[in-house]
């Protein structure tokens, strides 16, 4: 029997997570996990699209830090509750960089962080629009492009709440993140034959502006539930995203990776 396998000789470069020159669109890159991920990718030589909606000063600061360290990025403003913005966002990014290699669906949040018995329909709808509808339609646009080119990667930032159903105040958020994990699996199955690799990174409790925005009163009680006994940092999540986007992730698709301190 003839062995067709080529032997891969291991060298130091196999240790590196390479994303140099990759064109990476990150939604919600103004603060928290998205901002940190953007800076990490840019520091590794990726060309980054910094999408944001309201946090203009913060996103300009991210751009400044990237440019000061010799990186390349552009800013793209869109409200993802506005469904007409999805294709505009992808088109603007592709026009600026001539293509797209990696999409990171990171923008997300909770509308109506309150007991589910008091939850109103608008909060449910907005949470699902931001966390499910937007990543679905943005991924669909990107998928069409990648299918016609050399493939690419899509990484969805979901949440540990998809595993335990959220708290009484965030059941709808947990459900939306579970839906996003289902999209990961669906897009991964459809993308495999085009070399489009799709994975989720399920974040645990991460110290970002997210908690202040939703009006969470105390973080101490939540942190006590984490086996590693601390809140995560944005970089904890960003490193996993970098791993998947780099060539280290070239044989991984349709998976859900939890970064949650054992939660
Ligand atoms: N922090 C955690 O404990 C945690 C845990 C699990 C999962 N996650 C997920 O991680 C992702 C990042 O969250 P984070 O913790 O980094 O929170 P964050 O600092 O609040 O960042 C959220 C990002 O989403 C953007 N965004 C929110 N609403 C938007 C809208 N309507 N249109 C466009 N962009 C919008 C924000 O942009 P602007 O501020 O510019 O409007 C911001 O850049 C989210 O998907 C979140 O669900 C977070």
What are the domain boundaries of the chain? 19-258
DSSP strands (E only) in 65-209: 72-77, 102-105, 152-159, 196-203
pLDDT tens digits, one per residue of 30-75: 999 999 999 999 999 999 999 999 999 999 999 999 999 999 999 9
Q: Which residue ranges of the chain lie beneath pLDDT 50?
A: none
**Ligand 1 site-directed mutation target among 32, 84, 226, most atoms within 8 Å of CB:** 32
Per-residue confidence (pLDDT) for residue 16, from 0 to 100: 84
How many other C-beta atoms lie within 10 A of the C-beta of residue 194? Answer: 15
Per-residue confidence (pLDDT) for residue 7, from 0 to 100: 82
CA atoms 245, 33, 29, 36: torsion sign: negative
Cα dihedral 62/69/37/169 (nearest 10):
-30
pLDDT tens digits, one per residue of 212-232: 888 887 788 889 999 999 999
Ligand 1 pocket member 213 (CB < 6 A): yes
Per-residue confidence (pLDDT) for residue 3, from 0 to 100: 58
98 C-alpha to ligand 1 centroid (Å): 27
The whole-model pTM stands at 0.97
Ligand 1 pocket member 38 (CB < 6 A): no
Which positions are catalytic? 173
Give the CA angle between residues 111, 176, 163 to the nearest 5°: 120
CATH fourth-level superfamily of 19-258: NAD(P)-binding Rossmann-like Domain (3.40.50.720)
Rounded Cα distance, 25 and 40, in Å: 13
Ligand 1 pocket member 237 (CB < 6 A): no
Closest ligand 1 atom to Cα of 105: 45
Rounded Cα distance, 233 and 252, in Å: 24
**Ligand 1 site-directed mutation target among 208, 215, 223, most atoms within 8 Å of CB:** 208
Per-residue confidence (pLDDT) for residue 2, from 0 to 100: 53
């Amino acid at each position: 029997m003839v062995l067709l396998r080529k032997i891969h000789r291991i060298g130091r470069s196999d240790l590196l997570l390479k994303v140099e020159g990759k064109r990476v669109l990150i939604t919600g890159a103004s603060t928290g996990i998205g901002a940190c991920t953007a800076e990490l990718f840019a520091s590794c030589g990726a060309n980054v699209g910094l999408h944001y909606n309201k946090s203009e000063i913060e996103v300009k600061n991210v751009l400044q830090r990237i440019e000061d360290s010799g990186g390349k990025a552009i800013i793209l403003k869109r409200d993802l509750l506005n469904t007409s913005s999805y294709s505009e966002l992808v088109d603007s990014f592709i026009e600026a960089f001539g293509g797209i290699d990696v999409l990171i669906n990171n923008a997300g949040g909770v509308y109506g962080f309150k007991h589910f018995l008091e939850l109103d329909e608008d909060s449910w709808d907005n949470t699902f629009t931001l966390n499910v509808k937007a990543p679905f339609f943005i991924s669909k646009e990107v998928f069409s492009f990648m299918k016609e080119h050399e493939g690419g990667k899509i990484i969805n930032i979901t949440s540990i709440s998809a595993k335990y159903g959220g708290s009484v105040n965030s059941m709808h958020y947990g459900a939306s993140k579970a839906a996003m994990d289902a999209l990961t699996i669906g897009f991964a199955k459809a993308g495999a034959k085009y070399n489009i690799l799709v994975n989720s990174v399920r974040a645990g409790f991460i110290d970002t502006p997210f908690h202040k925005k939703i009006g969470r009163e105390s973080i101490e009680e939540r942190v006590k539930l984490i086996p590693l006994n601390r809140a995560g940092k944005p970089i904890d999540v960003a490193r996993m995203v970098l791993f998947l986007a780099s060539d280290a992730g070239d044989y991984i698709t349709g998976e859900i990776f939890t970064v949650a301190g054992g939660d």
